[in-house]
Amino acid sequence: MIVRLFEFGPLVVWAALLFAFVRPLHLGRARSIALGALLFVASQKFLIYKIFGGNSFVPDLPERFVNFTGWAYSTCMLLFVGVCAWWTVRGCLLLALRIGACLKGRERSAAPNVALDAQMTRRAFLSMPAVAAGTAAWGIWEGVRVPSVRELDVKVEGLPEAFDGFRIVHLSDLHCSPAARRARTQGIVDVVNSLNADLVCITGDFVDGSPEQRMDDMRPLASLRARHGVMGCSGNHEYYHDYAEWRPMLESLGITMLDNAHRIISRGEAKIAVGGVTDFVAQYNWRRVMEGPDVAKAFAGAPSDACRILLQHQPKHVDVNRVWDVRLQLSGHTHGGAILGFDLLVRAMNDDHVRGLYRDGKLALYVNSGTGQWAGFPLRLGVPAEIAVLRLRK
């Protein structure tokens, strides 16, 4: 269903642009056909990937080509949004003018100046492609660049005194893919290692693709360094490419994958239990059904006096996790909404959580805005990627 949406949705966008954008420009037959053909190619990123790269979402194509087609596709989509906004605003203004004229008894004066209206539309439409292209270029850059570091203190109920000031580098949604390859992964690793963290936690969506396709791009993760190592949990994208194959590969990179399991970190007599759960799609995945998330199992056998930290890809079920005495939950998945304005939709799908720090009783939840960006939706506008440094405080 989702694949069909991405494959056929752009065809609807292209058809709408032909009618609502190309037609009103009155460019003549030859130029209109050329512009329509250009818009078709720009909008059919997923079809191009499928034909030339073998896969609609993880094509075997050069990184620059993938990012270029991502830019062209994003330009087309932003142009569609701009055209829709233009016709909507124009329609509302004309309706308001007609209503006002009718109320004043001057119905004839409500008729618009057709020539002036067409001229204004044409001028607006001639400028829209440049605005859309520039905005798309900025959004693609924000999606593929090495993220900035965000540092914050997080008060954790029941945190032992010995762990006050404990520093966790939180990464999420790396999405190593044809659009984000080894050099970008290495850049992120270099930044993380410079932070001298106590623990590195990665909350899922490491990769898009199979181990054969992406392992080389992931290899720099083996160089991640922290006093107490690197721990992670799976995200939904790992299951789309068979997590059973990816799990041993991730472990070979030195990442302790917490699949409904935990590890204890001690400082003298004080302890914290870092647990992780599988993603919700594990039990519904079409490749193979796997064990779903189980917080009780994740912390089974953990010392009762250990402060519990949970790694869970999706920022959901906080009320349930609180019952199991989780004091800090680290999540991702939302990409922070990726584009300002998308927050409302993303929030509604993730129990009212989209990015940043939340509190629910004794449980603190931090939702990472994402350290990477899915190549299927390559834009970031107003919501930058991040490498989060969480300093735990009593």
Tell me the CATH number at 270. 3.60.21.10
Tell me the CA distances in angstroms from 384 to 86, 144, 147, 380, 381, one per residue in order.
28, 10, 7, 6, 7
Number of folded domains in the chain? 2
Domain residues for the domain of 10 are 2-142
Residues 58 and 110 in one domain: yes
Same domain, yes or no, for 152 and 137?
no
Residues 166 and 50 grouped into a single domain: no
Say if CB 24 and CB 121 are below 8 A apart: yes
Q: What is the mean pLDDT of residues 349-363?
A: 95
- Does residue 175 share a domain with residue 77? no
178 and 232 belong to one structural domain: yes
Q: Mean per-residue pLDDT for 138-165?
A: 96
Q: Which of 122, 142, 162 is the last residue of a domain?
A: 142
With pLDDT > 90 as the criterion, what percentage of the chain qualifies? 81
Do 41 and 166 belong to one domain? Answer: no
Whether residue 103 has pLDDT greater than 90: no
Structural domain ending residue among the three candidates 124, 142, 160: 142
Domain stops at, among 116, 142, 168: 142
Does 292 have pLDDT greater than 70? yes
pLDDT at 109 over 70: no
Under 8 Å between Cβ of 293 and 276: no
Q: Are residues 189 and 319 in the same domain?
A: yes
pLDDT at 91: 86
The beta-strand segments (E) located in the chain are 148-155, 167-171, 199-203, 230-233, 255-257, 261-267, 270-276, 307-311, 326-331, 356-360, 363-367, 386-393
Are 210 and 358 within one domain? yes
Q: Return the higher-pLDDT residue of 111 and 56.
A: 56
**Does residue 225 sit in the same domain as residue 242?**
yes
Q: Are residues 237 and 345 in the same domain?
A: yes
Does 41 lie in the same domain as 189? no
Give yes or no: residues 319 and 210 share one domain.
yes
* 291-304: average pLDDT: 95
Average pLDDT rounded to a whole number, residues 46-57: 92
**Average confidence score pLDDT of the chain:** 92
pLDDT higher than threshold 90 for residue 258: yes
pTM, 2 dp: 0.92
Residues 301-318: what's their mean pLDDT?
A: 96
Bridge pairing between strands 386-393 and 261-267 = unpaired
